[in-house]
Structure 1
Amino acid sequence: MAREVTHEERGPAVLDDDDKGDDGLIYVCQCGLSDSKPLCDGSHNATTDEQDSAVYKYKNDDADGERREIDEIVYEDE
């Protein structure tokens, strides 16, 4: 499965010891839906039933937003 997510940041995020969880690890969002990017907030749980062959768009890039299947990811420079 794939997901179209809009990113607005233009630079890197600096992570430090304050970003570590109770287990001493830092969890980085890979689904693109976290409200605390670049850190994971558990939003990926909304993606568990996505089909491997589909591409999805979540309304407002929000795990609670309506999910719809799209034909393809459209790149702005195309």
Structure 2
Amino acid sequence: MAREVTHEEQGPAILDESDMGDDDKIYVCQCGLSDSKPLCDGSHNATPDEADGVVYKYANDEAEGERREVGELDDGDE
């Protein structure tokens, strides 16, 4: 599973201790669907039924957005 995500930022995200959770850890979004980027907001919980090897696009890059398949991953072995 993979997701096509649109990024418009042109600089780094600066994180500090105020971004830490109650467990003194910082959780960075890896799914691309968080409304709190660069921090994780749990939006990845909308993705457990994504198939391996398929690339998905979510409308407006939102977990609640309509999901569609946009391609397949190429492992480069050919």
TM-score of the superposed pair, with normalisation by structure 1: 0.89
Q: Supply the distance in 2 between the matched residues of 1:10 and 1:53 (Cα, whole angstroms).
A: 29
Q: Supply the distance in 1 between the matched residues of 2:10 and 2:70 (Cα, whole angstroms).
A: 26
Q: Supply the distance in 2 between the matched residues of 1:61 and 1:40 (Cα, whole angstroms).
A: 14
Give the superposition deviation at 1:20: 0.2
User: Aligned-residue CA RMSD in angstroms?
Assistant: 1.3
Q: Which amino acid aligns with 2:46?
A: A
Q: Which amino acid aligns with 1:63?
A: A
Gaps of 5+ in 2: 74-78
Give the superposition deviation at 1:53: 1.7
The match for 1:76 is: none
Partner-residue secondary structure (3-state), 1:18: helix
CA shift digits 1:4-63 (9 cap, x unpaired) = 000010000110010000111000000000011110000000111100121100000000
Partner-residue secondary structure (3-state), 2:57: strand
Aligned length: 73
Q: Supply the distance in 1 between the matched residues of 2:15 and 2:71 (Cα, whole angstroms).
A: 35
Q: Supply the distance in 2 between the matched residues of 1:71 and 1:27 (Cα, whole angstroms).
A: 28
TM-score of the superposed pair, with normalisation by structure 2: 0.89
The match for 2:76 is: none
The match for 1:69 is: 69
Partner-residue secondary structure (3-state), 2:14: coil
